[in-house]
Structure 1
């Protein structure tokens, strides 16, 4: 479980390919490795991955074929920087919203407008997920807990402050960048429940 508050990015320093499995080797700073153990969960671009090996400052994560198919980890290369969040510790502040690290789908950046103090991103999303995207609702983008600024038939817009851009890899995005999307679990539960109730009443 995570909060969606990303405080750093880390570089991928190696990628190991095996049959239907890819191992990402990420170099983490000392503070991000504090008390980190094999078996721990760490979000990489919002994807909950298990630590399989620790070697100096390098942390190893295995990524299954299905995860690659659903997320933008399919496209990362050596040198790519991923958003990093350690798992939530009970009793700590939840500054964003509860994020599971189970990415639902991907979205593509189709419009990008930046000023010195503001950034607007428009993302295109598979229409079947749009019923869960609500104006002023939560959505996790590359693991970042963000508020939906606008909603369209085929996507939504985000408004980001400079701080978010500077400490996450959202600041590196260009038109065409693919983001990981995790729908807010509470929103999904409410929408799906209402649909089931209405469907039952219509029978």
Structure 2
């Protein structure tokens, strides 16, 4: 489990195609420290298992389905990526509960800079819209954000200078693809209420 609080901006150093998969090599000195084989690291919001580590570079294997369903497949060597190690039980939950299981992808629809923050608008797949509420939480490329407003085709967030400088969201341009993970609690609530409605109707 993660919190959506990015620890550092890493760099994709290699993306090697395998049979039905790919192996990513990522440089990240902060997250590599103390990391061992089998540990989990979120890369742009995608939970990956560390397959190997050499100094400040770790490798992770990614299935083709993950490459197809997330924005990881669009990355090229040299790309900056958001990195976060799995949260420990004794740590503060600074953002919200993030599983690292991407629900879909969106597109940066626009940016509106202002003096102290920037409003960024994203498209949202129709199937995810019901899980997103104003002032609720959503993870964009693994960054825990608060939904500022809802739109017919998406949502917008306000990004403070810290988020703009310490995550990839400060570099995303209109048209760029991003990973989206909605609040898992909303999905559990929907599932439970569906079961209740089914029993009530029978």
TM class by shorter-chain length? Answer: over 0.9
SS of residue paired to 2:38:
coil
Partner residue of 2:64? 65
Matches of 2:114 and 2:22 in 1, distance apart? Answer: 38
Q: How does 1:155-174 map to 2 (within 5 A)?
A: 155-174=154-173
Alignment of 1:9-20 (within 5 A): 9-20=9-20
Is 2:137 the partner of 1:135? no
Q: C-alpha root-mean-square deviation of aligned residues, in Å?
A: 1.3
Q: Does 1:151 align with 2:127?
A: no
Give the aligned partner of residue 102 of structure 1: 101
1:186 shift after superposition? 0.7
Q: CA deviation at 1:199?
A: 4.9
Query: Whole-Å Cα distance in 2 between the matches of residues 101 and 156 of structure 1?
Result: 20
Distance (Å, rounded) in 1 between the aligned partners of 2:62 and 2:193: 35
TM-score of the aligned structures, taking structure 1 as reference length: 0.95
- Once the two structures are TM-superposed, the CA of residue 174 in structure 1 deviates from its matched residue by 0.6
In structure 2, what is the equivalent of residue 27 of structure 1?
Answer: 27
CA contact (8 A) 1:130 1:153 kept: no
CA displacement at 1:163 relative to structure 2:
0.6
Deviation at 1:202, TM superposition (A): 4.5
| Corresponding position of 1:118 | 117
Q: Which residue of 1 aligns with 2:87?
A: 88
Q: Which runs of 5+ in 2 are unaligned?
A: none
Query: 3-state SS of the aligned residue for 1:13?
Result: strand
1:181 partner SS:
strand
Q: Distance in 1 between matches of 2:195 and 2:154?
A: 24
1:125–1:155 contact (8 Å) kept in structure 2: yes
Q: CA shift at 1:111, angstroms?
A: 1.4
Partners of 1:154 and 1:195 in 2: CA distance: 25
Aligned residues: 202
Distance (whole Å) between structure 2 residues aligned to residue 193 and residue 121 of structure 1: 33
Q: TM-score, normalised by structure 2?
A: 0.95
